[in-house]
């Protein structure tokens, strides 16, 4: 059975070390070691609209299980605000308004005002549920998709009632938080520093990706 992976850089395998054969030792590497065939459609810096598009464009010719990484909805493109980086807003949310990934000082000021006057957690939570419902319906109505898992990569979105618990890995948590809770710096490439997280460089290490792959394997193996 194939496992198809969709999502952002956590799914793609950014920062994973390379094996001597040249392969990244990321989620799909460790799943392959467990005997699965894996297709990885993860994309560095992808937002959830792009993740949805990659699922819609996939022909699903063969039977498969799917893993869908849910990234931060702060990444959604708002081009009229002069946005320059798909994760810059996460930095701004942490009061780092001077980050070089933003285009210019006027953009910094605009984003600061946006977060002070317009940002609304409830709005993004609603967008999250609508997006999740769309993806769920899409997968439920694709004959060759025999099972699927949603997994939050960086933000702790709460699983809505319309998604079964067995279809959500790390319910009400995320890959990042699951690994942080283990209090082991070796699970992150670059360690567990505040600067690493705020600058968007906090990706799992090879050992971190191995833990996630094992959890995915355990669920699909028992399906």
What is the token pair recorded at 30?
């460790």
pLDDT > 90? residue 122:
no
Q: CA–CA separation, 5 vs 200, rounded Å? A: 21
Of residues 79 and 156, more confidence is placed in 156
Residue 70, classed as helix, strand or coil, is strand
The whole-number average pLDDT for the span 183-204 is: 71
Question: What is the pLDDT at residue 7?
Answer: 97
Question: What is the pLDDT at residue 199?
Answer: 52
Question: What is the pLDDT at residue 165?
Answer: 94
- Asked whether the beta carbons of 49 and 41 are under 8 A apart, the reply is no
- Asked whether the beta carbons of 153 and 176 are under 8 A apart, the reply is yes
Q: CA–CA separation, 100 vs 56, rounded Å? A: 34
pTM of the full predicted structure? 0.87
**Residue whose tokens read 């997280």:** 197
pLDDT-based confidence at residue 67 (cuts at 50, 70, 90): very high
Please state, rounded to an integer, the average pLDDT across all residues of the chain: 84
Of residues 101 and 42, more confidence is placed in 42
- Asked whether the beta carbons of 204 and 49 are under 8 A apart, the reply is no
Q: CA–CA separation, 108 vs 100, rounded Å? A: 10
Question: What is the pLDDT at residue 84?
Answer: 42
Of 49-53, 196-200, 208-212, 214-218, the one with minimum mean pLDDT is 196-200
Question: What is the pLDDT at residue 69?
Answer: 98
Percent of the chain with pLDDT over 90: 54
Query: Which residues, other chains included, contact 36 with Cβ-Cβ below 8 Å and sequence gap of 6+?
Result: 1, 2, 3, 217, 220
What are the residues facing 6 on neighbouring strands?
68
Count the neighbouring beta carbons within 10 Å of the beta carbon of residue 143.
7
Domain ranges of the chain: 2-77+130-221
What is the token pair recorded at 94?
């942490």
Highest mean pLDDT: which of 42-46, 92-96, 146-150, 186-190?
146-150
- Asked whether the beta carbons of 69 and 7 are under 8 A apart, the reply is yes
Phi, psi (degrees; rounded to nearest 5) at 53: -60, -40
Question: What is the pLDDT at residue 80?
Answer: 61
The whole-number average pLDDT for the span 28-45 is: 96
**Domain at 2-77+130-221, CATH from 2.160.20.80, 3.40.50.2300, 3.40.50.150, 3.40.50.1110:** 3.40.50.1110
What is the token pair recorded at 153?
């990569």
């Amino acid at each position: 059975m194939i496992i198809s992976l969709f999502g952002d850089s956590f799914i793609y395998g950014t920062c994973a070390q390379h094996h001597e054969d040249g392969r990244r030792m990321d989620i799909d590497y460790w799943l392959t070691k467990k005997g699965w065939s894996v297709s990885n459609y993860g994309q560095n810096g992808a937002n959830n609209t792009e993740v949805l598009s990659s699922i819609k464009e996939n022909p699903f010719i063969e039977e498969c299980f799917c893993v869908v990484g849910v990234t931060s909805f702060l990444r959604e493109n708002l081009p009229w605000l002069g946005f320059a980086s798909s994760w810059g807003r996460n930095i701004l949310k942490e009061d780092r308004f001077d980050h070089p990934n933003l285009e210019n000082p006027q953009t910094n000021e605009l984003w600061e005002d946006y977060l002070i006057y317009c940002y609304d957690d409830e709005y993004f939570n609603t967008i999250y549920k609508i997006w999740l419902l769309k993806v769920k319906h899409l997968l439920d109505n694709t004959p060759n998709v025999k099972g699927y898992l949603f997994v939050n990569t960086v933000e702790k979105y709460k699983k809505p009632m319309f998604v079964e618990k067995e279809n959500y890995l790390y319910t009400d948590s995320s890959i990042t938080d699951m690994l942080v809770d283990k209090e082991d710096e070796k699970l992150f490439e670059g360690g567990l520093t505040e600067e690493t997280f705020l600058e968007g460089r906090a990706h799992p290490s090879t050992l971190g990706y191995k833990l996630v792959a094992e959890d995915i394997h355990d669920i699909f193996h028992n399906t």
